[in-house]
Structure 1
Amino acid sequence: MKLYYSPGACSLSPHITLHESGLAFEHIKAPTKTHKLPDGTDYYSINPLGYVPLLELDDGTRLTEGPAIVQYIADQVPEKNLAPANGTVARAQLQGWLNFIATEVHKGFSPLFSPATPAEYKTIAIDKLRARLQWVDGELAGKDYLMGEQFSVADPYLFTVTNWASAVGLDITGLAHLAAFRARVAARPAVQTAMKEEGLRK
């Protein structure tokens, strides 16, 4: 398998998940600013939308959208318990978390990275994001991870998007349960390996 990623982008989530899975894969840098691969290939020829992540399977099939990719990875290694079984209430709850992170948190950051976004709107967006993360903080009370004691594919996604907070001026320092969660996830060997491979840690 090949994972196309951009350092620190949302593709860090499947990058971490792949290391958690133990599956063999190659990671290929596809910077979102240049869209040029290390060998000079135009990334748009691989993903016409131009964004990451993209997972190319050994048979050439290409999967896009992080929440779909991480569930596919989890289902290849059910013994790792990265996702509950399909058709269960727990799986629907996991999908609820993935959808919430994608639509309410991840996309909430998008306008904050755009120079074209008016300053007054950025203030509104930051307030909304903080409100969402305050709710998440409450949900994490008494839990190690989003699904409880068991680490799942939703956890690297929340970890990845909350990594962006300081870059956009979103103060999350007072969210104690979220801070403890982030420290717990950051300490995992798979997370440290993925971040080193993306040049985010020495």
Structure 2
Amino acid sequence: MRWLDKKWHKVVEKKLIEVEDEPYGEIIVHGGNDKSWSDIYYNDAKKKWMGQVTKVVFLLNNTKVGDCACYYASSLVTVDIPEGITTIGDRSFFGCSSLKDIKFPKSLTSIGSYSFAYCSSLEEVDLLLKNVMELGDHALEGCTSLREMKVPDSLQTFGRKVFYKCSKLVNSTIDVVDDKINGDDVTSEVVAFLRFIQ
């Protein structure tokens, strides 16, 4: 089994070099490194390539999805974030407009600012049975298809305007438990379905 792990690492390392040097758009291998949003946003070639990415592979023993890891990967449909990842960085999946399904690991504790902003095909985010303690500012802003959000009772920090422009959530069903969510964070534009586990 150890040999297979090493072999897999070699394959992944080769893919990583290909992705960095000659983008081909089918897969992106992510090792947890942060990227600058401006390096992608203001570079037409990088932005175009990111728009063709259809699959993400994560390196073993990684604990973070880096900032802007899949920024504007608009052809990405599903993401399976592996066990061991504790943090999803800022803008990690910003603008992934085709993203419909995300599988989160139990090890996840923090979701950064704008991490899933403008994932306009995302209909449900299920964090139940996870250990998420922090949802960053604008984490799900502009997720216009989002209908349901399930949040565990481990949540301690709820950022500003997490659900800004999430027009399909229903504000009358917001369930605020204890004082976990400050009323100021729930603006008239936030329409949300939250379920807290007691």
Length-normalised TM-score, structure 1: 0.28
TM, length-normalised to structure 2: 0.28
Could you say which structure has the higher helix fraction? Answer: 1
Structure of higher RCO (CA pairs closer than 8 Å, 6+ residues apart)? 1
